[in-house]
Every structure is written in C-alpha cells, then in structure tokens.
Structure 1
Amino acid sequence: MQTLRSAPVPLLIALSFAGFTHTSAEEPKPAKPPKTHAVTLGPVRKVPYTPAETDRNNRNEESTTLKVRALFVDTRQREWTMGEPHDVTDRSFTVRRALRINDRLPTEAEDRWTWQPGPWLLVDRVTGHIAAIHLPDFDPVASDAVWFRDYAAYCGTGQTAKGGLYAVVAQLGARHAVIQKQIGRWPQPDHFIPVCQPAAWQRQPMRVTLQPTGGEASTFDIVGSAAIVEEGDAADDN
C-alpha cells in the first residue's frame, strides 16, 4: 500500500498565495470614471480698448472699453472672454475670446499691451476642453456673430484682393459656410458703425435675415441637420 505524505505547511502557504496572485491578476480592473471639470466665468471687468477707426472727436465709454471675463477650468484661468456665452447643447457653449496683444514697435523699449476682440471658442463643460472656432470670413471689426443652435450668422469680409461684404451663416463642424453671399462693397472708407445690424433668426421654417446698416435686408432659408458638435469623454489635461 502506497503512503501519501502531506506537504510541509510553509509550502502549502506559498502555493496558495501564488494561486491567489495569479487569479487576481486575471480579474479585470473596474473602469476609471472620466474626470469632470468645473467650468466657470469670472466677474465682468472693464478694460481700455479703442478701435482703429473710432472718431477721436466722438469717443465715449462704450467705444473705448471692453467688458471681459476670465474663463476658468477648475481653479485655473484658461482664457479671457467677452460678451455673453451661447449654449449649443446641455454641455457645450460658445463664447468670444478677448486678446491681449503686444502693441510695442521694434524701436520701443517697453511692452505695450492692448485689448482686442478675438475669435470664438467652443467650450465643453464636462471635459474642460476649449477649442478655437473657425468662422469663414469673420472680421473682428465688421462681424458680430449671432448664434442659433449650432449656427452663427454675421456679416463677413472677403479675404481676396476683390474684397466684398458678405452675408455668412456658418455651422459648427462644417468645412464650408452654409450661406456666403456678397451683399456690399468692402473695404469702405466711411462705413457705418456697426457695419451690419444684428442677425434676426426665425425657428420654423429656419431662416435668418442679415442687413448692412443703411442697406437692404437679405433673408435666407437654412436647410441643415442637427448640431454637429464634437463631444467626448476624454478629459483635457492641458
């Protein structure tokens, strides 16, 4: 009859531990939830600003100041903004950027910082991601975008040698403008300020009216799809 001998206690403990370690390594780890961010706008602050074509004899507080607000992601300031934000979806909004530009000439010793209106930004409240929006023919001097859903309507200026004033409707995520039609001449030495009246939107049917100040209004029907906004779960760690 064969006699079976039991393994020493230390060996049994070592084998049991090895088996436990091997089993635990094969168990999938729970997915780490995506990090969310707190996106906030700070209080309004007035800063000096003078457009290049402002009449020196007819300046007032509205024409010589910008109202800017800091854009924070968590506790870190990421941008300066101006104007009111526009909610595109329940998690994304657009807001216009305010720029601090160094106006120092090469012959000057000291920096000379000035404020200027900048491009538009798309902000994701969940990930904290901030992206610059390219609006075709958008001109910081002549353009004043009015948003509806994921569309922006404004008067733009042609970037070619022929120039021209254009009625433009742009959609987020689209490569080309939805509407782009010439409605006047540009540049204009003695143009109105503002160059165009704010765009007037209509929901059903979707249409928009753009009118150069002192000129005729043009109305355009918009045939498009739902919002094309890139929204993801990847956090912006920059």
Structure 2
Amino acid sequence: METEALVAASEIDFSLLALFLRATITVKVVMLILIFASVWSWAIIIQKTINYRAARRDADLFDRAFWSGEPLDKLYQNIGNTPNGAQERIFTAAMTEWERSHRGEGLIGGAQQRIDRSMDVAISRESEKLNNGLTFLATVGAIAPFVGLFGTVWGIKNAFEEIAIQQNTNLAVVAPGIAEALVATALGLLAAIPAVIFYNKLSADADRLIGGYDSFADEFATIISRQLDQ
C-alpha cells in the first residue's frame, strides 16, 4: 500500500507551472500578485541603480566645473536653460534668483534668503525624484511574506478538505496540495528579500546624494553671502 502511494506520488508533476495550474483560484491570484510585485520591484531596483549612478556622475562633472575657477556667470551661461543633473539644476535655480534680484546697480533686499529658498525648493524636488519608487520596495518587503503565508494557509486548508472528501491520507493525495501551498510562501520570500535588501541600499544611496546636494547648496550660499558683503 505504501509502495503504491510512493509510485503514485512520483508520477505527479511537481514543476512550478504544474503546481500553479493545479492551485485554486485564490492561491493563483496570490501567486500572480507576488510575481507581479517581484518583477516590478526588480524594475525599480534596476532603474534606480542606473539613475543613481548617473546622478553621481553628473555631480562629479559639475563639481569639477564649479571648482575649476571659471566665473560663475560664465558657467551659468554655458549651462543655459538645459541643466544636466541635480546640482546643475540647484545651481541654475540659485543663479536665476540672483539675476532676478538685481535692480539697476544693486540688489533687492532679502536676496540671500530668496536664493537659499530657491535652492531648498530645488533640493526638495531632487529628493522626491530620488526617493520615488522606494516606498513600493518597502511595502513589498513588509507585506509580501504575509501575502505568501495567506496563500499557503489557504492552500493547506484546501488540501485538508481534499483529504476529508477522499477519506485518504496517502502521499499521492496530500503531497500536491501541500506543495502548491508552500509555493506561495516561497514566492512571498522571493519578492520580499530583494526588496528589503535593495530598499536599504537605495535609501542609503539617496541619502548620500541628497547630503551632497545640501553640502553644495551650503557652500554656494557661503560664496553668494561673501559676494553680497563686498
């Protein structure tokens, strides 16, 4: 009897596709949600990695140009209306406000505060761009295991119902249902683990970039303040 059960179980297809097709509608929906979450998470991870690398490259290029000794007015003219990179956009916002604050031979009062505020607004926009999508990774990392666990619990419930209906507890009856149920948990972990790892990494990368923008804004504000005091 036991040998017959083992033979019957060995003939069952336990491939991922077969397990998915045999699963109930609820478990299939859970699996599809987790697969979508995993694919979308990897799309965000890849896109953010590319974006952050480009942001670091643009910042390095602008730093070299900014500290090269070239007059800031000339640098501003070279950038024009198409700043490339976050620091160029921050610099352009400050220089635009600097030009608007000129009246004849002097400056309108409160120019320093307006320039600082314009850089703060530019940094806030860049911060929003850098952090866009990271909330999804955090959400997937937090709830995907529980979604997978729900699919597993539901699948095991159906497996026990099948046992009760057939009044048979041999391996050929129990194994498929349990296997289908455990796939949901595996998919949940598959979606959650990379999301958590890369959320932490990308968040740290974004914080470093934003910190660099803040440092540049402070240095530039000091230069402007020195110019205003002359």
Scaled to the shorter chain, the TM-score interval is under 0.3
TM-score, with structure 1 as normaliser: 0.21
Structure showing the higher helix proportion among its residues? 2
Larger strand proportion, structure 1 or 2?
Answer: 1
